[in-house]
A and B are shown apart, each in its own frame.
Chain A
Amino acid sequence: MSGGRWIYRLVQLAFLAAVLGAWQYSSSEGLVSPILLPSFTASVHEFVKVLSTGAFWPDLRVTLYELIVAFLIAASAGCTIGYLVSRTGYSIRVFDPLFAGIYSIPTILLFPLYVLFFGLGAGSKIAIGATIAFFPVVLNTIAGFGFVDKTYVTAARSMGASGVQMFWSVLMPAAFPVMLTGLRMGFIIAFLAILGSETIASLSGLGHRIVTYAESMDPAKMFAYIFFAILIALLLNTSVSMIEARVRRGHG
């Protein structure tokens, strides 16, 4: 099995090489307008320049700041409301479909309103990120706390556990893994929504930088920042998954 693995890697490399080769060829031969497609080498050159000069810092800082604030708002509101709702089966049946229903509407629709309320700056990005991340967090918190095996709760109570002990020793350990999934999903979709809303209308941030270079017809720099944003997205994805796995292991 593993003996044949190199074949697949080879095919993947060949595919990548073909795409990049086609890119370089079509731009150097002038098949595609240089405004649409700069040469691959020029884009890589700009990308290296962005990385080495640290020119990405101001925009990255804005985007990460928006992401962290949005996530903190969504996490605290989502966990608190989710926990409160999960306390009775009745309130779960009332609120869970309500949150799930609202969640099925694309949140980005609210962005024009948020621009009206909070302006073009970081405020509207934080609001959209917090709104979109709230739903997976609250739904998973409800699912986590709402469906703890009743035997454990009864057993703990019959052994005289206090409310605090019940929360930290029974409910929390049972609910935590499910909550964690919601938090990870919330974090990732908040990042995507913030990037998207920076693209639509903003004053700074990674999405804003990409748009600026697109509109000033500077495609090599635009591609450099597209590469950079993708790099950041992949880094965030992997680090969040790693944190989740580690917490899960330490917890379980």
Chain B
Amino acid sequence: MSSVRLGPGAARLLVIVALVIVWEVGVRVDGDPLFMSPPSSVVVSLLGFVTNLPVLGALRTTLWELVAAFLIAVAIGLPLGLIIGLQRFAYRSFHPIVLLLYAIPQATILPLVVLMFGIGPASKIAFGATHAVFPIVVTIVAGVQGVKPTLVTCARSMGASRAQILANVVLPHMVPSFFTGMRLAMTSDLIGVLLAELYVSQAGVGHFTRLFTESFEPSKLFALIACLAAIAVLLNELCRRAERRMSRWHD
């Protein structure tokens, strides 16, 4: 036990810096430049992207695909989740079907989705949406069902109509779970869109990952993956912020 202790955040930073240094030195000492790049040349490639219009375009396309798929999934998942969650009959009949479909590994239908929607952005959006819709439905159903029965009984005993109960009790109560669903949906959305991009792509990021792999330019590949990781972290963080903000009033 040392007497002077770094804060956990500083120590974490130190670990990351140490790993980057090991990576840099390791590759410089003993690394095949066709397969591995030191972080310094990755940064150079990253800066090179700023003027590389095709790559920028591909990144923008991917971002657009992610957002479009997400919006479609919300537009479908929200009403579906509300109907299944609120309607006893719909819940008993269709919730098992939703869970069964959710359990299916969607990677198996990726070639089919591409056959149907082509190799352009449409197939990425479709695949991202099918990934994102299930977490939304399932969390919204859980959120609607999680409303305390006492509250509903209470509102009813005070003479609230079904519509009033829905608008003033149920909907406000499912806001936190709605945002939890959005966050989970974004995680799945990313997996779906990126899988489809990597599978086949005309001018998207998948095209460039393949190009950089086949032309043995690992520094550009690393840089592109870093950009995508940044997009993923950004979108995830946005959803997490929204979730935290919207669930705060609830406690």
Residue ranges of A at the interface with B (Cβ–Cβ < 8 Å): 7-8, 11-12, 15, 35-36, 90, 93-95, 97-98, 104-106, 108-113, 115-117, 191-192, 195-196, 198-201, 206-207, 210-211, 214-215, 219, 222, 225-226, 229-230, 233-234, 237
**B111 close to chain A: CB less than 8 A:** yes
Residues of the A chain whose Cβ atoms lie less than 8 Å from the Cβ of B109: 226
Q: Please, how many angstroms separate the alpha-carbon atoms of A110 and B190 in the complex?
A: 13
B156 within 8 A of A: no
Across the A-B interface, the 5 shortest Cβ-Cβ residue pairs: A214-B111, A93-B8, A196-B107, A11-B93, A112-B209
Of the A-B pairs whose beta carbons lie under 8 Å apart in the complex, a sample of 6, sorted by A's number, is A7-B92, A8-B92, A109-B194, A112-B213, A117-B36, A196-B105
Q: Contact between A12 and B194 (Cβ–Cβ < 8 Å)?
A: no
Chain B residues packing against A (C-beta within 8 Å) = 5, 8, 11-12, 15-16, 35-36, 89, 92-94, 96-97, 103-105, 107-112, 114-116, 187, 190-191, 194-195, 198-199, 209-210, 212-213, 216, 218, 221-222, 225, 228-229, 232-233, 236
Bound complex: CA of A199 vs CA of B213, how far in Å?
A: 17
CB contact between A98 and one of B12, B89, B195 (< 8 Å): that residue: B12
Given contacts A8-B93, A106-B229, A112-B212, 19 further A-B contacts (CB under 8 A): A8-B92, A12-B94, A12-B97, A15-B97, A36-B112, A95-B12, A104-B236, A111-B198, A113-B221, A116-B221, A198-B107, A199-B199, A206-B108, A207-B108, A210-B111, A214-B115, A230-B108, A233-B105, A233-B108
User: Out of A15, A98, A113, which one reaches B222, CB within 8 Å?
Assistant: A113
A132 nearest CB across to chain B (Å): 10
Closest to A227 in B: B108
Contact across chains for B107 and A214 when beta carbons are under 8 A apart: no
Contacts of B209 in A (CB 8 A): 112
Q: Please, how many angstroms separate the alpha-carbon atoms of A237 and B111 in the complex?
A: 23
Query: B236 to chain A: which residues have CB within 8 Å?
Result: 104
Q: Do the beta carbons of A106 and B11 come within 8 Å of each other?
A: no
Question: In whole angstroms, what is the CA distance A192 to B191 when docked?
Answer: 11
Whether A106 pairs with B105 at a CB distance below 8 angstroms is no
Looking across the interface, which residue of chain A has its beta carbon closest to that of B225?
A: A109
Our pick among B35, B97, B104, B199 for the contact of A116 (Cβ within 8 Å) is B35
* Bound CA span A233–B100, Å: 11
Q: Determine whether the beta carbon of B199 is less than 8 Å from that of A200.
A: yes
A215-B200 Cα distance, complex, nearest whole Å: 12
With A222-B111, A233-B105 given, is the CB distance from A97 to B12 under 8 Å?
Answer: yes
Q: Which residues from chain A contact B36 at a C-beta distance below 8 Å? A: 117
On whether the beta carbons of B194 and A36 are closer than 8 Å, the reply is no
Pairwise interchain contact B198-A117, C-beta atoms closer than 8 A: no
Chain A nearest CB, measured from B161 CB (Å): 26
Known: A104-B232, A215-B111. A117 touches B5 (CB 8 A): no
Q: Which residues of chain B are within 8 angstroms of A115 by Cβ–Cβ distance?
A: 213
Specify which chain A residues have a CB less than 8 angstroms from the CB of B94 in the assembled complex.
11-12, 15
Q: A199-B107, A233-B104 are in contact. Are A112 and B191 (CB under 8 A)?
A: no
Complex formed: what's the CA distance from A210 to B94 in Å?
29
CB distance from A46 to the nearest CB of B (A): 15
User: Is A90 a contact of B5 with CB atoms below 8 Å?
Assistant: yes
Q: With a CB–CB cut-off of 8 A, which chain B residues contact A219? A: 115
Cα–Cα, bound, A116→B225 (Å) = 13
Give the distance to chain A from B65, nearest Cβ to Cβ, in Å: 14
Nearest Cβ in chain B — how far from A15, in angstroms? 6
Tell me the minimal C-beta distance from B135 to chain A in angstroms. 14
Whether A214 and B112, one on each chain, are in contact in the complex, defined by CB atoms closer than 8 angstroms, is yes
For B210, what are the chain A residues with a Cβ–Cβ distance below 8 Å? 112
A191 and B222 alpha carbons, distance in the complex (Å): 25
Closest to B195 in A: A196
Give CA–CA (A210, B104) in the complex, Å. 15
Query: In the complex where A116-B218, A237-B103 touch, is A94 in contact with B199 (Cβ < 8 A)?
Result: no
